Amino acid sequence: MSIKLEQIDPCRWRIPRQGGMRTEGLVFASAGMIDQLRREQALEQVCNVACLPGIVGPAMAMPDIHWGYGFPIGGVAAFDAEEGVVSPGGVGYDINCGVRLLRSDLEAAAIEPTLARLADTLFQNIPSGVGSQRHDLKLSIAEEKKVLSRGAGWAVEQGFGTRADLDHTEAFGCIAGADPEAVSARALERGRAQLGTLGSGNHFIEVQKVEQLFDQQAAETLGLFPGQVTVSIHTGSRGLGYQVCDDSLKAMLKAARRYGIELPDRQLCCAPLTSREAKDYLAAMACAANFAFANRQLITSWVRETFETVLGKKSADLRLSVIYDVCHNIAKWEEHEREGRKRRLCVHRKGATRAFPPGHPETPAAYRGIGQPVLIPGDMGRYSYVLVGTAGALAETFGSTCHGAGRVLSRHAAKKAARGRDIIAELARQGIMVRAAGRATVAEEIPAAYKDVSEVVDVVEQAGIGKIVARLKPLAVIKG
């Protein structure tokens, strides 16, 4: 399929309606990014999403766009509550893969002598890698279902954190409408031993320092200062979320045929939002999202314990507090104003982040003057960014922006590029310690596998769908 693109401005590109598209496509990207995208299938996926029934506004792609299952990763689309659909391909397999950022009162120079021990102890205390499990957290099926219903709140009830953690988590760490009875026995089985684990792939725990501030007022509100130690936690719903997605695809293919929905791609199988199939999927998806919130909450608790043990300080002295926790892969019911009226929409964000503006009621009260924090991880060799949401994002992208750097090399290509190299040693020479369950994951995640995230957030800021606050530099990285 030959994709026609029209440049709107330096960071926006329109895909006019063509073929079965019900609406246009809108891509946020620089000219250089577009040159790369023309050689890939992700733009065709934007067109395919625009073919789905009940879509409201354009099918969108953020500057970290790359090919994904069904929707492109970096894809955003909203669907009308009465006429639209929900598609598991618009959420993905790693439901509520997301990022949580912790701040501290520590300065990077002060922890340098103990950084290696800190990295080793984090790696020991938090299981990582394919199929990683905890053996000290035994959940019955009944207790696991409570996790799925309550999310991060369950973990806080068990003593893993405080109410303040929930106040700084998207949706307070619990997506409404979760029904554990909608989750298969196989999904429950896969998730039960994986709560509190990092997993593999692009998931990580990263000890960082604040390298540069771009907005002093916003940084002060978020509690950030130059040279400060921060910790990022990037993981999701593990095997449970994967199984929820896998289970739903079979049902959604049948549903699409039953309701006469013409699919440009089988991976976009979907069901009307008013249907039983859609309601079942959203109930199971919410369970997986809540599992992910609880997962990051537990890991937060063990990160705090690790810092206390290694540094010999009490938690109150370290002040390792949550700045924010944000979803990357989710479909959420939201109310947005379109064409002069408020509409109830199911907003799909797949490899995209919510970015609500100052004053929005769903922005935490402490941040209502600056906007919702937006956490954008880069690769393990360069930097990550903290942004805040904007009014422009709410008006144009349903309050959405990018979620990371975006891959430019497949995992296979990355391994090929890393062949014969000692990536861990290379990063060590840059002052970045890496602890990983296996060298294969490190090879898949080499910095060259990703776009330079600074170019991604520059597009976001230029487009007005996010505002840069700070850049964070990795000091120690824990990988699966």
* Domain spanning 6-479: CATH 3.90.1860.10: yes
Residue 295, φ and ψ in degrees, nearest 5 = -60, -50
Contacts of 448 (CB under 8 A, 6+ apart): 408, 409, 414, 417
Residues pairing with 231 in the sheet: 102, 207
What is the domain partition of the chain in residue ranges? 6-479
d(CA 138, CA 147): 12
Q: What is the pLDDT of residue 389?
A: 98
Are 372 and 364 within 8 A, CB to CB? Answer: yes
8-47 in b/e form (b: 16+ CB < 10 A) is eeebbbebebeeebebbbbbbbbeebeebbeeeebbbbbb
Q: Residue type for 167, please?
A: D
Tens of pLDDT along the chain (480 residues)?
Answer: 579 999 999 999 999 999 999 999 999 999 999 999 998 899 999 999 999 999 999 999 999 999 999 999 999 999 999 999 999 999 999 999 999 999 999 999 999 999 999 999 999 999 886 777 776 788 999 999 999 999 999 999 999 999 999 999 999 999 999 999 999 999 999 999 999 999 888 899 999 999 999 999 999 999 999 999 999 999 999 999 999 999 999 999 999 999 999 999 999 999 999 999 999 999 999 999 999 999 999 999 999 999 999 999 988 899 999 999 999 999 999 999 988 889 999 999 999 999 999 999 999 999 999 999 999 999 999 999 999 999 999 999 999 999 999 999 999 999 999 999 999 999 999 999 999 988 888 999 999 999 999 999 999 999 999 999 999 999 999 997
d(CA 251, CA 271): 9
Sheet holding 341-350, edge to edge: 6-9, 12-15, 25-28, 55-66, 73-80, 341-350, 329-338
Active-site residues, by number, are: 403
* pLDDT tens per residue, range 83-123: 999 999 999 999 999 999 999 999 999 999 999 999 999 99
* pLDDT tens per residue, range 308-361: 999 999 888 999 999 999 999 999 999 999 888 899 999 999 999 999 999 999
CB count within 10 Å of CB 330 equals 28
pTM: 0.97
d(CA 256, CA 82): 16
Residues pairing with 435 in the sheet: 478
* pLDDT tens per residue, range 156-188: 999 999 999 999 999 999 999 999 999 999 999
Q: For 371, left (φ over 0), alpha (ψ -120 to 50), or beta? A: left
